[in-house]
């Protein structure tokens, strides 16, 4: 029972080949755009790699780049097949090439769907990676004299200014770390000694934030220090003050930014996927229709095109049998090489 | 004696016409480029309008926009003319229009040149506009409750963060103005009252700067207040401290930014001007060679093309005379002006000796 049979008169075949050739050019550009979007996403992720702990999320742009490149190659092949299908003498040379080509192309195209699904599925992983990365960044903020960490202050400051965010979850994260280096603390002063003694780890903790948390939209000059002390500043109440610092946490800001990027890229990838599948299905029809013409004297006869010669289950069984045969062939070859003695031994008792 | 004559065979003329047709279409594209450069410049100046005092700066982008639009129209017309010039018959249609077209285009290219030069000469105006504008913006920094000025704090803060600059010429400009609003000053505190009394105008001045002056590259947390007081901070010497605040002044930062843009735009406009001039020269040669073909009568013959028929001096003189006579067309013609039909003393010619005959004796 043939799957999705369609009759193809000569004119319809020709038109299918021509339309498919045009469509393969469009899909080539679409593949190139997918590649470019993958490159863009990877660059954006790389720019903030200093505040990301793991690189799991990079699989999404990597997939997009690989599929984009592969689809350019696939579509060039498809275009060539279409050109040759109009000439029955040149078409037969594609006969052995096309079935594995289809399997490969369907696999590559399905990777696009996988990339889209991953971009949603990996969001928790991205969030976790950012949480750890930002926590480390805030912890090492003061270590501007330690090689390997000296850039953290600048990174975190620039991040907070650019994304208009403060701290990991919110500004209170800064109250829990010592972000002022000991080099700039006067240990002879009573205030410093009190603060350092007030906690177990001997850290200088204060209810203040770095300047990069300041919100330019605030009507009053920025209050960075003694944030929880209403009496330290005139006409100030920290419970109701919203414009003084950035309220957002940097983790949320970055996750939103990257999700926004991927949501913009999503529809383009979906379009590319649908286009590519359309081309593959049409190419399959063209191939099967042309196979009916090969060897015939009159090339203008009507032929049938189909997706699968037999039904889905039967095709799968056939493919399994084929695979078994190939594997068995390899196995039998090994068996006859390893045990040439067992068979004569088995026969011997019978003849004894 | 013609200026720069070149001989043109028929094929050379045809090729010139075709090349000029393509070049005219390219010039339409460059006209669009000029237009978009003008728009870009206008947008860039408008973005920082709050920081620039009133000045004639808007004239440069407006000029570029106008010139770009006119360039598109002129070159479109030129393309049409050159397309028709391949055929001598079609050229007759354009014959009378071509010379005025060339003169108009010549003056138009002059205005393109003026536009390019304007881009380069804007320095002085720009500097003055920026000085006054930044000074006012810093003065009204604290007025976040005054309608019309409430956004200036945000603008100045974002400017200092983005351009990595502080104050007008340096961070000390902030020491001379009150940038903390009175609404946030506790007038009951002695320190505040002392500061207010310490100067004539009653302003709250201090040696501190807003947070947007802080340098991200500094290894230590930003020191914004008591900048000139070394003892207020541990391990701090403001004479040698360079990384704490942005050292550049915002006037210089903005001036450099706009100068870069203006120079790039000016260079592009100059290149476009040279291109337009070369296209105009080609059109002039085409026009003169085709007119000479018509004068000689044979469409296939070789003809001369030139820039000017006579030398510069003679052409200038004859044009000047034409302009002089144009101005006199509404004056009454008397004999001294040369109109031969008006009464004037007869000066009949009486033969080789020019002796008037004796009057004939009358019969009595």
**Is the pLDDT at B339 greater than 60, yes or no?**
no
The reported pLDDT for the residue numbered B167 is: 93
Condensed to tens digits (0 to 9), the pLDDT of residues B67-88 reads 999 999 999 998 888 888 877 7
Chain B residues whose CB is inside 8 A of the A186 CB are 234-235
This prediction has a pTM of 0.79
* B184 with A145: Cβ contact below 8 A: no
Per-residue model confidence as pLDDT tens digits over B201-218: 889 999 999 999 999 999
State chain A's mean pLDDT as an integer. 88
Ramachandran bin of B242, using left for φ above 0, alpha for ψ from -120 to 50, beta for the remaining angles: alpha
Checking if the pLDDT of B123 tops 50, the result is yes
3-state secondary structure A61-98: HHHHHHHHHHHHHHHHHHHHHHHHHCCCCCHHHHCCCH
What's the rounded mean pLDDT across residues A242-251? 94
Mean pLDDT of A294-321: 79
Per cent of chain B over pLDDT 90 is 45
Q: What is the pLDDT of residue A344?
A: 45
> What is the distance in angstroms between the Cα of B242 and the nearest Cα belonging to chain A?
16
Residue B222, min C-alpha distance to chain A (Å): 7
pLDDT digits (tens, 9 = 90+) for A96-132: 888 889 989 999 999 999 999 999 999 999 999 999 9
What is the spatial distance between Cα B297 and Cα A159, in angstroms, rounded to a whole number?
Answer: 78
- Residue A348 pLDDT more than 50? no
Residue B133 has pLDDT above 60, yes or no: yes
What residue of B is the nearest CA neighbor of A215?
B154
pLDDT of residue A14: 87
Q: Is B6:B285 a contact under the CB 8 Å cutoff?
A: yes
Q: What is the pLDDT of residue B86?
A: 77
Do A92 and A294 touch, CB atoms closer than 8 A? yes
State the sign of the Cα–Cα–Cα–Cα dihedral A290, A296, A301, A303. Answer: negative
Q: How confident is the model at residue B264 (pLDDT cuts 50, 70, 90)?
A: very high
Looking at per-residue confidence, does B156 or B122 come out higher?
B156
Is the Cβ–Cβ distance between A175 and A207 less than 8 Å?
yes
Query: Lowest-confidence range among A48-57, B8-17, B126-135, B147-156?
Result: B8-17
| Listed residue (B100, B97, B12) closest to B293, CA to CA | B12
Name every chain A residue with its beta carbon within 8 A of the beta carbon of B214.
211-212
pLDDT digits (tens, 9 = 90+) for A51-70: 999 998 999 999 999 999 99
B181 touches chain A (CB under 8 A): yes
Backbone angles phi, psi at A159, to 5 degrees: -60, -45
Q: Which residues of A touch B158 (CB under 8 A)?
A: 216
- What is the separation of C-alpha B77 from the centre of its chain, rounded to a whole number of angstroms? 24
**What's the number of CA atoms in the CB half-sphere (13 Å) around residue B211?**
22
Q: In the prediction, which pLDDT does B334 show?
A: 53
* ipTM here: 0.78
Angstrom distance (rounded) from CA B26 to CA B79? 10
Q: What is the pLDDT of residue B333?
A: 53
Which of the two residues, B124 and B349, has the higher pLDDT score? B124
Residue B93 pLDDT class (50, 70, 90 cuts) = confident
Q: Do B145 and A233 touch (CB under 8 A)?
A: no
- The lowest-confidence range among A13-27, A59-73, A260-274, B337-351 is B337-351
- Percent of chain B scoring above 70 in pLDDT: 90
* pLDDT number for residue A343: 46
The answer to whether B226 faces chain A, any CB pair under 8 Å, is: no
Residue A352 has what pLDDT?
42
- Predicted confidence at residue A341, as pLDDT, reads 47
What local confidence, expressed as pLDDT, does residue B340 receive? 59
Residues of B in contact with A227 (CB under 8 A): none
Give the chain A residue whose CA is nearest to the CA of B159: A216
CB-based contact A215:A227 (threshold 8 Å): no
Query: In which band, very low, low, confident or very high, does the pLDDT at A246 lie, cut at 50, 70 and 90?
Result: very high
Residue A18 has pLDDT above 80, yes or no: yes
Residue that wins the pLDDT comparison between B360 and A73: A73
Q: Which of residues 79-138 of B touch A (CB under 8 A)?
A: none
**Tell me, what's the pLDDT at A313?**
82
Q: How far apart are the first and last CA of chain B?
A: 67
Set of chain B residues whose Cβ sits within 8 Å of the Cβ of A181: 219-220
- B364 vs B93, higher pLDDT: B93
* Nearest C-alpha neighbor of B24 from the set B270, B278, B273, B279: B279
Each residue's pLDDT tens digit, A150-192:
899 999 999 999 999 999 999 999 999 999 999 999 999 999 9
Cβ proximity of A266 and A274 under 8 Å: no
Q: B59-84 vs B10-47: helix axis angle to the nearest 10? A: 160
Report how far apart the first and last C-alpha atoms of chain A are (Å, whole number).
Answer: 55
- Tell me what the mean pLDDT of segment A70-99 comes to: 87
C-alpha A334, offset from chain centre: 42
Task: State residue A310's pLDDT score.
Answer: 75
With a cut of 90, say whether residue B58 has pLDDT above it.
no
Q: How many CB atoms lie within 10 A of CB A115?
A: 25
Name the 3-class secondary structure at A3. strand
Q: State the average pLDDT for chain B.
A: 86
Six token digits for residue B201:
């105008």
Q: Which pLDDT value is given to residue B344?
A: 55
């Amino acid at each position: 029972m043939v799957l999705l049979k369609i009759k193809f008169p000569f004119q319809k075949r020709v038109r299918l080949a021509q339309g498919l050739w045009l469509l393969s050019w469009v899909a080539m550009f679409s593949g190139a755009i997918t590649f470019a979007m993958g490159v863009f996403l990877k660059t954006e992720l790389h720019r903030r790699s200093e505040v990301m702990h793991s690189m799991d999320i990079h699989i999404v742009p990597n997939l997009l780049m690989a599929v984009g490149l592969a689809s350019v190659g696939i579509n060039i092949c498809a275009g060539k097949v279409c050109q040759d299908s109009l000439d029955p003498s040149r078409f037969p040379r594609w006969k052995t090439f096309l079935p594995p080509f289809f399997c490969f192309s369907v696999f590559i195209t399905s990777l696009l769907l996988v990339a889209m699904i991953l971009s949603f599925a990996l969001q928790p992983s991205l969030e976790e990676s950012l949480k750890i990365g930002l926590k480390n960044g805030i912890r090492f903020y003061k270590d501007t004299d330690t090689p390997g960490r000296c850039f953290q202050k600048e990174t975190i400051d620039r991040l907070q200014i650019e994304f208009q965010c403060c701290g990991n979850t919110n500004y209170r994260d800064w109250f829990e770390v010592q972000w002022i280096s000991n080099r700039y603390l006067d240990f002879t002063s009573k205030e410093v000694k009190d603060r350092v003694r007030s906690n177990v780890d001997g850290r200088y903790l204060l209810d203040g934030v770095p300047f990069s948390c300041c919100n330019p939209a605030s009507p009053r000059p920025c209050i960075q220090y003694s944030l929880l002390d209403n009496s330290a500043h005139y006409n100030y109440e920290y419970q109701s003050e919203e414009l003084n610092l950035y309220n957002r946490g940097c983790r949320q800001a970055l996750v939103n930014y990257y999700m926004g990027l991927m949501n913009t890229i999503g529809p383009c990838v979906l379009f590319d996927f649908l286009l590519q599948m359309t081309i593959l299905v049409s190419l399959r029809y063209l191939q099967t229709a042309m196979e009916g013409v090969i060897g015939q004297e009159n090339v203008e006869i009507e032929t049938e095109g189909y997706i699968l010669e037999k039904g889905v289950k039967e095709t799968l069984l056939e493919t399994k049998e084929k695979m078994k045969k190939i594997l068995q062939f390899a196995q039998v070859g090994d068996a006859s090489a390893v045990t040439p003695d067992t068979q004569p031994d088995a026969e011997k008792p019978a003849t004894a | 004696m013609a200026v720069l004559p070149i001989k043109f065979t028929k094929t050379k003329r045809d090729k010139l016409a075709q090349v000029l047709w393509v070049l005219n279409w390219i010039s339409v594209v460059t006209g669009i480029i000029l237009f978009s450069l003008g728009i870009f410049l206008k947008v860039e100046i408008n973005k920082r309008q709050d920081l620039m005092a009133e000045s004639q700066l808007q004239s440069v982008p407006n000029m570029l926009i106008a010139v770009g639009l006119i360039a598109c129209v002129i070159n479109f017309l030129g393309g049409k003319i050159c397309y028709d010039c391949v055929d001598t018959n079609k050229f007759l249609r354009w014959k009378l229009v071509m010379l005025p077209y060339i003169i108009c285009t010549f003056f138009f290219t002059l205005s393109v040149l003026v536009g390019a030069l304007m881009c380069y000469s804007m320095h002085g105006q720009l500097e003055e506009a920026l000085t006054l504008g930044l000074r006012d913006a810093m003065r009204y920094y604290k007025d976040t409750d005054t309608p019309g000025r409430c956004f200036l704090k945000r603008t100045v803060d974002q400017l200092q963060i983005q351009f990595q600059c502080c104050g007008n010429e340096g961070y000390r400009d902030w020491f001379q103005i009150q940038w903390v609003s009175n609404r946030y000053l506790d007038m009951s505190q002695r320190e505040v009252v002392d500061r207010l009394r310490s100067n004539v105008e009653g302003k709250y001045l201090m040696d501190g700067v807003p947070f947007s002056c802080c340098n991200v590259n500094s290894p230590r947390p930003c020191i914004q207040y008591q900048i000139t007081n070394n003892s207020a901070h541990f391990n701090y010497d403001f004479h040698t401290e360079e990384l704490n605040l942005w050292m550049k002044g915002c006037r210089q930062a903005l001036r450099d930014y706009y100068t870069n843009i203006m120079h790039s735009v000016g260079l592009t406009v100059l290149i476009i001007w040279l291109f337009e001039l070369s296209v105009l020269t080609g059109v002039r040669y085409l026009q003169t060679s085709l007119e000479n073909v018509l004068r000689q009568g044979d469409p296939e013959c070789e003809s001369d093309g030139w820039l000017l028929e006579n030398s510069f001096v003679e052409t200038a003189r004859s044009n000047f005379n034409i302009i002089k006579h144009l101005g006199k067309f509404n004056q009454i013609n008397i004999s001294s002006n040369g109109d031969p039909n008006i009464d004037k003393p007869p000066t009949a010619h009486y033969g080789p000796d020019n002796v008037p005959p004796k009057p004939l004796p009358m019969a009595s």
